[in-house]
Each structure stands twice: as C-alpha cells, then as structure tokens.
Amino acid sequence: MSSLCERNSDISIIIPVYNLEPYIEQMLDSLASQDLGPYKAEIIFVMNNCTDDSEGVIRRSGLDCTIIYCLTQGCGPARNAALNIAKGKYLWFMDGDDWLLSDTAVKDVLDKAMPEDLDIVRIPFYSTHYVWQYFSMVWQYLLKRSFVSEFRFPDYQPAEDDAYMDRVLNKAGYNRATYLGLPHIHQQVYFYNYMREGSNMFRHMRGEKI
C-alpha cells in the first residue's frame, strides 16, 4: 500500500474534527484499510476546539496523517485551514463520523477522475436514515484542487456547503437541479451517518443555535 501521508499526493482527504471521540474510530478503520493501488494520498484532520479526546483517538490509531488546528469554530473555517496546506491533485472532504464502505473507495474515485483529468466526480453514498439527494453535501464530490482553488467555505453554519457548492457547480456548468448529471462512479462507497446526536445537523433540526 502507498503511504497515506504523502505531500506529493494524488488526493488530499480533509476531515474537520469537533468532539468525535465516540464516533471517529470507524472512519479511522476505513481509511487505514484502503488499498490505494498506484495512488498516493494525504489525510488532514483539523482539530476544531475539541473538548474531548478525539485527537488522542486519532493519534493512537497509528494512521499516517497530518493533524492541524483551527480555533475559529465551524466546519467551514476548519476545511479552509486544511485547504491552505493541501497538496493533493484532488480533494475529498469527509465528515469524521461517517466512513468508507469499500477498501478501494479512494482508488475507485481516482480511477474515475484521473484518466480523463476530470474537475469533479460525484460519489454515490448510502445512509440508513437519509434517502433523498441534496446537491451541497460536499463529501459526495471529488474536486480537482486547481479547479476550486479560488473558493473557500463561509464561516457561518449550518449550510456552509450550500454557498461553496453553488459556486463550484456554477463554474462546472451545473447547478442544484442538474448536478446529478455530473460524471460519477456507479457504486456506493461512502456511508453518511445522518442525524448523529450532537452533530450540527442534529442540533439544527432541533432548533438549537450553532
């Protein structure tokens, strides 16, 4: 297996972390099991003011990765902090309480993107409680870093993905209504842990201020 912490990488996997100690192990295991084939990857975890032992869980896992810190609260600022140092040709934003369904998930999406030098690849997902599609869930895209280099996530949350993906899709010639027509892989390789208690979406749906 290629190293998961290569600075000259085909892909940068970016994961914000806020108090995920009870949930992140499954993502760590799924990343550690990846067969990358010919590709090189870097994984960047962004510690976002955690008050639990999320960082300890990551470090004890032994996964080759980069850990950085973002003091501005929110997924948007945390992702932006990783974007400032990411070196991969492609970007895949993930959530730390989700996980990959296949040991070849990263290879599969790069196999789709690399031969045609695609700017965006749509990544089908599976969830036990979330059955409809929505354009802005950023983890359902592989993005070429040079294609989105001028874009950053807004500081507000939730729905910081909406503004970001509106701009990305518009540049690619797509929009909220047509994004399903993007080049895509045909198998579900990402599990979306929808409405995990304590998540931003869970708190938002309960009417809490985030």
Amino acid at 32: A
Identify whether 210 is part of a domain.
no
The amino acid that residue 195 corresponds to is M
Give the residue ranges of DSSP H helices in the chain. Answer: 25-32, 54-61, 75-83, 105-113, 160-172, 200-205
Crossing angle for the helix pair 160-172 and 75-83, to the nearest 10 degrees: 50
In a domain, 3, yes or no: no
The helix or strand, by DSSP H or E, that contains position 21, with its residue range, turns out to be none
* pTM for the model: 0.90
pLDDT (tens digit, 0 to 9) for every residue of the chain, 210 residues total?
Answer: 344 444 589 999 999 999 999 999 999 999 999 999 999 999 999 999 999 999 999 999 999 999 999 999 999 999 999 999 999 999 999 999 999 999 999 999 999 999 999 999 999 999 998 877 899 999 999 999 999 999 999 998 778 999 999 999 999 999 999 999 999 999 999 999 985 555 544 443 334 343
Decide if 192 is inside a domain: yes
- What CATH number should be reported for the domain holding residue 89? 3.90.550.10
Considering its fold, how many domains does the chain have in total?
1
Q: pLDDT tens digits for 141-176?
A: 999 999 999 999 999 877 899 999 999 999 999 999
* Residue 171 structural domain: 11-205
